[in-house]
Structure 1
Amino acid sequence: MRSLCPRALFVKVAKNATVRRFATEAAKVEDSVWSWNVKLSEYGRSGRVADAKRTFDRMEQRTVVSWNALITAFGRHGKCLEAAKSLFDRMPRWSGISWTVMIAAYGLRGQVEDSRKMLRTIPEPTFDAWGATIAACAQNDQKEQAFELLKLMDLEGMKPSQGTLSIVLSACAKAGALRDGKLVHQSFLLAGEAPLDVVLGNALVHMYGKCGCLELAKNVFAELETPNTISWSSLVAAYARGSKGSSALENFWKMRLEGNDLDQIAFTNILSACSHGGLLRHGWTFFNSMVEDHCIAPTLEHFSCLIDLLGRIGQVDAAEDLLKSMPTKADAASWRCLLGACRSHNEVGIGTHAHGHASTMDSGDSSAYGLLSSIHRAETSFH
């Protein structure tokens, strides 16, 4: 093998040293940009938009990740949507994530048509861009548009993720649209490409339970390999809505035995079950356990369940006392709940008082007046 002359050897070593130096410097720059991007993303996630903007401005070098992180931070803050769009327009180049972030930002603000317009603008919409637009429609009560996009996505040869389908199912549950919810479930089953994951499974249990299909909710729950707190909580809620108080209690105990963490929603559902079943002792036991054993601060929903429970079993005075004494400010729905109990038990005095509060807080809702009229008619016919 021919050896290199001293000059050639020197040149080779010098070149290698230069390459190593440039590689080292490039690695330092890359590491520095990565660190800035991490900080920028953290500020955005924690809602510190001004800090995110200052960090972005201080960066000597930026990547597409930097731009996307700041757009995301702006998009999460409702008042910064225009700033997000301005930043998007200034980007040196767009990635698929850039488009998706802007679509999601419009969706969070309720500007669904802008989300759809942006999807149409993308030269080659990605899987995530389709999903974000469908989510924007579903989360803003535009269920029909979400279904339209699902069909278009299918025509493009793309299948929605289970996460996207779960968002559409949530919209179906909110609207009580059982037929549409079943269509979503059927489309997933017909695709037959993946096992049911817990996110979609939970959405199906919730949707079927909300629409009064307890058996279907139970069937989906049984398919879940590892049900989590949300799964169990949704099943308990389904039993509660079906007025199956004892079954709701049984599954709540199973949920605890499985080692699932209990959260605010889990306690809301079990308290609702106690309310529907008229289980006063259990209701107070769960409420006290929530506060004392699990250190969960009761919300208006928790108090409303107890008020409804007391009203259902005829303890209207106690329901009113709780409503007045609870640390959380009562809303119009709470007073209407008490008013409904007064109608059931012909309690004119408290009913009139509850009507006054309900109508003052929500003057546009005529249901409170209708409930009070029913109480007076019942009182008149009784005498």
Structure 2
Amino acid sequence: MITTGLIQYPPSASKLVASFALSNFSGTTSTARSIAERVRGRNSYTWNTIIRGFLEENKPEDAFSVYSYVRKKALPVDSYTLMFVTKACGLITLSLGEQVHAQICKMGFVFEIIIQTALLGLYALFGVLSDMQQMFDEMPHRDIVTWNALIAAYAQHGSHFKVLELLRAMMNDSLGPNEKTVVSILSAFSSLKGLREGKVVHCYVVKSIVNLDVFVYNALIGMYSKCGNLPCALRIFQLMPVRNVVSWTLMINGCCDNNFPNEGLDLFKEMECENVKPDAITMISVVSMCSKLGSFELGEWIDQYVEKSGLANESVSLANALIDMHAKCGNIKKACQVFDGIVEKTLVSWNSIIHGLAVHGQGISALVRFSQMLREGFEPDDIVFLSILSACSHAGLVDEGQKCFHSMIKDYHLEPWLEHYACMVDLLCRAGLINEAFEFIVNMPVNPNTIMLRILLKACQNHGDIVIANQVMNYLYELGPKSKEDYLVLSNFYATVSKWDVVDEVRKEMKVKGLAIRDPGCSSIELKEEIG
């Protein structure tokens, strides 16, 4: 085309630029831009194709650079130019998007519906829902695409009641929900645990939407699973004409959330047999199920599977889940190995390993990791401090635990939760410091809960401290025993000090309130890769 001169013929040049810009090969959009800058007769279609090409290559800065070049050269732009560049701004910064919005208003494109929908998406991406709502309210005409964009934005940001309000408003505007609307609505009902309302939407889908796509099927599976109706979720899953990795993941995750880990693992094996490749999210669900089962051998098998797939290197969330799994399955050494292998650790990574060490009674190792975390510039949050206090409690490290507790308040200005206070009471009680634990409870800025008092009363029982025990029981009576555990603690303590008449009174009161022990304890055993 260069040697024949066709490169200067606008229709041919435009097609050549489009071929490069929309190619699947990496870097060809830059070649398209280079050609476009050197030929005559470039129209808005040519530049739109280049901007779109950079977007598809996930290069929003380059897309915006092309738009800036077009504006600088006073070249023509149209609705599609502005739509594509608005999408690019959504991947860069909000301020840049606001500048483009101002230019759109000046150029008179603000009332075009594809521009308005793109701007709605921009504000939704940055969570500026008030500006998004204002933009929507000022629109003279709205179609189903615009309504869907608004509803999806509120659903993604957790404003589920707003989603339902918008649904009613949309139907009052004589627009019926389509597949995309249904997906957002089902997401809202999933989070609200609205099973009855979700069933109504399901009926609407069956009656009104002829060809259901995989997204609607997945939304239905997610809704039924999160609302605790696993049989319905499984029935929909089995009826699906086509399943993708999301379908399998939702079903496996549903089994995990509804305490059917063995069934979830069976689904995972079935997924493998159908040659559907799991992604990191799938594996997080599978790892979570192994954590619940607590099987050492199963944990090893899953770890090897993840290692072969290479997914742990791609997802720090999966690596964090593996740390938690190995710790719960009793393999703290492997948990440390996984942690050390994470290149870019997050605060969750540190908390997972500290918590794992705490559960295994390795308080000193937990403190070493905590110190290492601080040296690497991570600022601990409430959850990390809860883990480190638990570690000190399990290991009997009283001084270290008290230092961490005071550091949490003075150095990091974090307000302790009741759980932090309970950890400190447990720490002191385990060390036999009954008086100190009682003084700690008395001097707390918040009222103690029954858990703390049970811990202290149990310590009094173990050390035969009747004086403090009577004071603790006064606290318990003021709170009023509300659960079976409270009554049992009182009963056992009175039995320890041989006050059998009081024991009888407590037991009779338990029966009157229907708190007698009926449910037996349970345990599990692993046999031939089955856990039951």
TM-score (norm. length: structure 1)? 0.80
Structure 2: distance between partners of 1:238 and 1:353: 35
Residue in structure 2 matched with residue 270 of structure 1 by the alignment:
388
Shift in alpha-carbon separation, 1:260–1:99, aligned structure 2, 3 A: farther
Residue in structure 2 matched with residue 363 of structure 1 by the alignment:
484
Matched, 1:55 2:166: yes
Q: Bigger shift: 44-53 or 247-256? A: 44-53
Matched, 1:200 2:318: yes
Contact 1:139–1:167 at 8 Å: present in 2 too? no
Structure 2: distance between partners of 1:333 and 1:170: 27
Structure 1: distance between partners of 2:416 and 2:146: 40
Structure 1: distance between partners of 2:189 and 2:446: 32
Equivalent position to 1:73, from 159, 176, 188: 188
Structure 2: distance between partners of 1:176 and 1:333: 26
Structure 1: distance between partners of 2:391 and 2:262: 32
Q: CA offset at residue 130 of structure 1?
A: 1.0
Structure 2: distance between partners of 1:188 and 1:223: 13
Structure 2 stretches of 5 or more lacking a match?
A: 1-77, 80-108, 119-141, 499-532
Residue in structure 2 matched with residue 381 of structure 1 by the alignment:
none
Contact 1:355–1:372 at 8 Å: present in 2 too? no
Q: Bigger shift: 221-230 or 187-196? A: 187-196
Shift in alpha-carbon separation, 1:100–1:335, aligned structure 2, 3 A: farther
Residue in structure 2 matched with residue 11 of structure 1 by the alignment:
none
Q: CA offset at residue 330 of structure 1?
A: 4.6
Matched, 1:225 2:225: no
Q: CA offset at residue 267 of structure 1?
A: 0.9
Equivalent position to 1:181, from 274, 299, 304: 299
Q: Give the aligned residue type for 1:235.
A: I
Shift in alpha-carbon separation, 1:364–1:279, aligned structure 2, 3 A: closer
Matched, 1:88 2:199: no
Q: Give the aligned residue type for 2:152.
A: S
Matched, 1:158 2:272: no
Residue 195 of structure 1 aligns to a residue whose secondary structure is helix
Contact 1:134–1:164 at 8 Å: present in 2 too? yes
Residue in structure 2 matched with residue 40 of structure 1 by the alignment:
151
Contact 2:481–2:487 at 8 Å: present in 1 too? no
The alignment of Structure 1 onto Structure 2 pairs a total of residues equal to: 357
Structure 2: distance between partners of 1:360 and 1:307: 20
Residue 360 of structure 1 aligns to a residue whose secondary structure is coil
Q: Bigger shift: 350-359 or 146-155? A: 350-359
Q: Bigger shift: 330-339 or 219-228? A: 330-339
Q: Within 5 A, what are the aligned runs for 1:229-268?
A: 229-268=347-386
Q: Within 5 A, what are the aligned runs for 1:7-156?
A: 27=114, 31=118, 35-45=146-156, 47-59=158-170, 60=173, 63-78=178-193, 80-91=194-205, 92=209, 93-156=211-274
Q: Give the aligned residue type for 2:185.
A: L
Structure 2: distance between partners of 1:331 and 1:158: 49
Contact 2:393–2:424 at 8 Å: present in 1 too? yes
Structure 1: distance between partners of 2:224 and 2:254: 8
Structure 1: distance between partners of 2:484 and 2:471: 15
Structure 2: distance between partners of 1:249 and 1:167: 30
Shift in alpha-carbon separation, 1:237–1:153, aligned structure 2, 3 A: same
User: Residues 166-188 of structure 1: CA distance to partner in whole angstroms, max 9, x if unpaired?
Assistant: 23323333443333322322332
User: Residues 56-112 of structure 1: CA distance to partner in whole angstroms, max 9, x if unpaired?
Assistant: 23335555322211221122102x222123223323253322222222222222222
Shift in alpha-carbon separation, 1:293–1:192, aligned structure 2, 3 A: closer
Structure 1 stretches of 5 or more lacking a match?
A: 1-19, 378-383
RMSD: 3.3
Residue 262 of structure 1 aligns to a residue whose secondary structure is coil
Residue in structure 2 matched with residue 341 of structure 1 by the alignment:
459
Structure 1: distance between partners of 2:279 and 2:488: 41
Q: CA offset at residue 38 of structure 1?
A: 4.1
After TM superposition, what 4+ stretches of structure 1 lie above 6 angstroms from structure 2?
364-367
Q: CA offset at residue 374 of structure 1?
A: 8.1
Q: CA offset at residue 197 of structure 1?
A: 2.4
Contact 1:331–1:361 at 8 Å: present in 2 too? no
Residue 286 of structure 1 aligns to a residue whose secondary structure is helix
Structure 2: distance between partners of 1:147 and 1:241: 26
Residue in structure 1 matched with residue 434 of structure 2 by the alignment:
316
Residue 428 of structure 2 aligns to a residue whose secondary structure is helix
Q: Give the aligned residue type for 1:89.
A: C
Q: Give the aligned residue type for 1:52.
A: V
> Per chain length, whose mean CA-contact separation is higher, i.e. which structure has more relative contact order (CA < 8 Å, sep 6+)?
1
Shift in alpha-carbon separation, 1:124–1:222, aligned structure 2, 3 A: same
Structure 1: distance between partners of 2:215 and 2:164: 19
Residue in structure 1 matched with residue 55 of structure 2 by the alignment:
none
Richer in helix (by share): 1
Q: CA offset at residue 217 of structure 1?
A: 0.9
Q: Give the aligned residue type for 2:227.
A: R
Structure 2: distance between partners of 1:247 and 1:86: 54
Shift in alpha-carbon separation, 1:364–1:236, aligned structure 2, 3 A: closer
Structure 2: distance between partners of 1:180 and 1:367: 37
TM-score (norm. length: structure 2)? 0.59
Contact 1:347–1:375 at 8 Å: present in 2 too? no
Equivalent position to 1:306, from 417, 424, 433: 424
Q: Give the aligned residue type for 1:88.
A: H
User: Residues 256-287 of structure 1: CA distance to partner in whole angstroms, max 9, x if unpaired?
Assistant: 22222422221111111121232333323322
Contact 1:212–1:238 at 8 Å: present in 2 too? no
Q: Give the aligned residue type for 1:81.
A: L
Q: Give the aligned residue type for 2:246.
A: D
